Structure 1
Amino acid sequence: MKESDKIIVGISIGDANGIGIEVILKTFEDARVLEFCTPVVFGSTKVMSYYKKILNSNIAVYGIDNLNDVLPNKFNVFNVWKENVDIEPGKATEISGRYAFKSLESATSALKNGAIDVLITAPINKENIQSKEFNFNGHTEFLESKLQGKSLMILMADSLRVGLITGHVPLKDVADLITQERIMEKVEIMHKTLKSDFSIRKPKIAVLGLNPHAGDNGLIGKEDEEIVKPTIDKCRENNMLVLGPYAADGFFGSETYKQFDGVLAMYHDQGLAPFKTLSFGKGVNFTAGLTKIRTSPDHGTAYDIAGQNKSNHQSFTEAMFTAIKIFKNRSEFNELNEKKLVAKGSK
């Protein structure tokens, strides 16, 4: 691969008072990482210098003011702003939320315009980032509003991939959101991404039940019998290998998840609680269904250890390499499909 052909990885810094910048710097402490991609961090060289001192880091920061000046084999930092910013590690402040949005907005624009190939987002604080410009429950919802496609949040580690039929919504609203249309939409996204982004020819997908024991044949709620099961039948009629609904407790406890390429949970904690128990610290959050690729580590801002050089960068590093792999897989999939279309048209 030529240096100019390297995948350009855009990185938003998240909340500057959290551990986001620490895990970014720790990931690129190993110069060999630059052999796989060209990083572009959306923030400022001043903020990077602050954390370099804390970490006693020797990373050479290459500051740029124009995305056309990105260089391979360099740790590029695009100066989204140049003014001094008050950094208070471990504190959720209005300032850190404001600049987290500046970084994310700039990186998302670059992703949309093709200036970067993939986006890795460091953790934000969902409360202090709120503003007129950012009125969303998280990264996923914001990115869906800016990019083409319908999103599906997938948490993944090794061969375990857990998608969410409902995401950042209150538990009291979940049952009303579980419709045949919504389940079908998320299954189709999961099926497509397993084929195009993970190179799985015939994906096998499990759907978890909404109610305890998947409703116990209607004894504990009617949704699984009247909504979930008929939708799964329709999925199979559409040549998708989908099974369920499975009782969530036994499904993970018995390791049944190992028999599937993807799992769809009905709500946030139903999927993420067992996922993080099984793989915390090495998991990756992938936003499937969009025309552009975004991943993130599976942890939050971790204010309690911010600025103390105690952060573990494994999940961030995994998020970066996952994004690179998905980009390559999707490119190959699209190229093969284009060749098939051309071949059919020439007959």
Structure 2
Amino acid sequence: MTKIAVTLGEPAGIGPDIGVMLAEKGFLDKNIVVITDPDLILSSANRLKKNIKVNILKNIESKTYSSKNKINILPIKLITKNIPGKMNPRNAPFVISAIKKAANLCLNKKCSAMVTGPISKAVLNDAGYSISGHTEFLAKMCKTKSVMMLMNRKMKIALHTTHVPLNNVSKYITQDSLKKTIQIICKDLKDKFHIKNPSILVTGLNPHAGENGYLGNEEKDIIMPLIKKLKANNLKIDGPCPADTAFLKKNIQKYDVILTMYHDQGLPVIKFNDFKNTVNITLGLPITRVSVDHGVALELVGSNKIDISSFAEALKVAKKYSV
């Protein structure tokens, strides 16, 4: 197995503390390389009163170690002093550099996957970076379309649109764009998840899936005709299903993935189901990228009360589905 590149996200958030706690619990073996400023980790360890040692790599080929309480670090420097719990746009280039470094290591086959910690989109935009999330940023880097999919041990939920204002969602629902989303889901479920003939349930956009046009026309004019075409091509796909019944137990058991039309149509369900063990995996990329499903949680920095379950699960998923 080749190495997995890890970024910890916003330096003023819980990312550095999570890195320290993962090392303390023995989750960071020799195949896990964290791309960060070593001083950020040592400062966090001191704040949490944890005995952590760092192995600073000259490059990705440097010798790494599997040892509890040790972190293998490929170093990049903070731009300005970090104040835990207080985000600073001046450190935005540090955050972006870490993501780019990890992605390029994967694209150049030096790492088999990347796992990302939570970022603040607001701070990055305040610093002049036009970024709506990792999913879109990495798609642009890789020059491809991407699809966000959250998963845990019980279900997989994919999103047709991601970080789009609700009043703009309908503009993104066209037969061409929806077909591309479905093609990406099918390809990655086959290639990365080894599901021979994936089954997909598609939700509608409107209440009651449009009620035959009385509550909206997207289902009748766009989603339903596309699904009929895809079914005629032997794709295992059903819908549009009203979102309020899409996540019934029988559907979770029947379908490999449920495709929702927008961010808050699907994510509340899976996070309510098992927030601690849910991770975000980006489909459509030539690399494997997995992420936690939570934010920067400034209020928990330095508290020793951080739940590292999602990050630990992300590492497991990255190892399992690495390319």
TM-score bracket for the superposition, by shorter chain length = over 0.9
* CA distance in 2: counterparts of 1:266 and 1:158, whole angstroms: 22
1:148: how far off?
4.5
CA deviation string 1:104-147 (max 9, x = no partner): 22222222222221111100000111278731201111100111
Q: Does 1:108 align with 2:84?
A: no
CA deviation string 1:218-248 (max 9, x = no partner): 1111110110001111111222100011110
Q: Alignment partner for residue 278 of structure 2, among 280, 283, 301?
A: 283
> Could you tell me which residue of structure 2 aligns to residue 21 of structure 1?
16
1:79: how far off?
1.1
Using the size of structure 1 for normalisation, the TM-score is 0.87
1:250: how far off?
1.7
Structure 2: stretches of 5+ with no match in the other structure:
none
Of 109-118 and 15-24, more deviation after overlay is shown by 109-118
1:29: how far off?
2.0
Supply the AA of the counterpart residue of 2:291.
S
Q: Does 1:135 align with 2:137?
A: no
Supply the AA of the counterpart residue of 1:46.
D
* CA distance in 1: counterparts of 2:179 and 2:79, whole angstroms: 48
Mapping of 1:161-200 within 5 angstroms? 161-200=156-195
Q: Does 1:80 align with 2:76?
A: yes
Preserved contact between residue 148 and residue 291 of structure 1 (Cα < 8 Å):
no
Preserved contact between residue 86 and residue 95 of structure 1 (Cα < 8 Å):
no
Secondary structure of 1:216's partner?
Answer: helix
> Could you tell me which residue of structure 2 aligns to residue 121 of structure 1?
116
**1:84–1:172 Cα change, 3 Å:** closer
Preserved contact between residue 161 and residue 169 of structure 2 (Cα < 8 Å):
yes
* CA distance in 1: counterparts of 2:127 and 2:121, whole angstroms: 14
Of 148-157 and 62-71, more deviation after overlay is shown by 62-71
> Could you tell me which residue of structure 2 aligns to residue 147 of structure 1?
142
Supply the AA of the counterpart residue of 1:306.
V
* CA distance in 1: counterparts of 2:201 and 2:54, whole angstroms: 45
Of 25-34 and 153-162, more deviation after overlay is shown by 25-34
Dislocated runs of 4+, deviation >4 Å = none
Secondary structure of 1:77's partner?
Answer: strand
Secondary structure of 1:15's partner?
Answer: coil
1:164: how far off?
0.6
> Could you tell me which residue of structure 1 aligns to residue 53 of structure 2?
60
**1:256–1:93 Cα change, 3 Å:** same
Supply the AA of the counterpart residue of 1:142.
F
Preserved contact between residue 55 and residue 73 of structure 2 (Cα < 8 Å):
yes
**1:310–1:109 Cα change, 3 Å:** same
Secondary structure of 1:281's partner?
Answer: helix
Secondary structure of 1:99's partner?
Answer: helix
* CA distance in 2: counterparts of 1:253 and 1:305, whole angstroms: 34
Secondary structure of 1:188's partner?
Answer: helix
* CA distance in 2: counterparts of 1:212 and 1:32, whole angstroms: 43
**1:38–1:234 Cα change, 3 Å:** same
* CA distance in 2: counterparts of 1:302 and 1:62, whole angstroms: 27
CA deviation string 1:152-206 (max 9, x = no partner): 1001011311111111111111111100111111111111111111121121100
Secondary structure of 1:68's partner?
Answer: coil
* CA distance in 1: counterparts of 2:73 and 2:28, whole angstroms: 16
**1:131–1:98 Cα change, 3 Å:** farther
* CA distance in 2: counterparts of 1:202 and 1:69, whole angstroms: 41
Q: Alignment partner for residue 302 of structure 2, among 283, 303, 307?
A: 307
Preserved contact between residue 34 and residue 73 of structure 2 (Cα < 8 Å):
yes
Supply the AA of the counterpart residue of 2:184.
I
Secondary structure of 1:263's partner?
Answer: strand
Preserved contact between residue 17 and residue 90 of structure 1 (Cα < 8 Å):
yes
> Could you tell me which residue of structure 1 aligns to residue 244 of structure 2?
249
Q: CA RMSD in A?
A: 1.9
Secondary structure of 2:4's partner?
Answer: strand
Supply the AA of the counterpart residue of 1:26.
M
1:31: how far off?
3.0
> Could you tell me which residue of structure 1 aligns to residue 44 of structure 2?
51
* CA distance in 2: counterparts of 1:231 and 1:44, whole angstroms: 48
Give aligned-pair identity as a percent: 33
Structure 1: stretches of 5+ with no match in the other structure:
1-5, 332-347
Secondary structure of 2:43's partner?
Answer: helix
* CA distance in 2: counterparts of 1:62 and 1:149, whole angstroms: 35
Supply the AA of the counterpart residue of 1:50.
S
1:23: how far off?
1.7
1:325: how far off?
0.6
> Could you tell me which residue of structure 2 aligns to residue 156 of structure 1?
151
Secondary structure of 1:304's partner?
Answer: helix
Preserved contact between residue 79 and residue 91 of structure 2 (Cα < 8 Å):
no
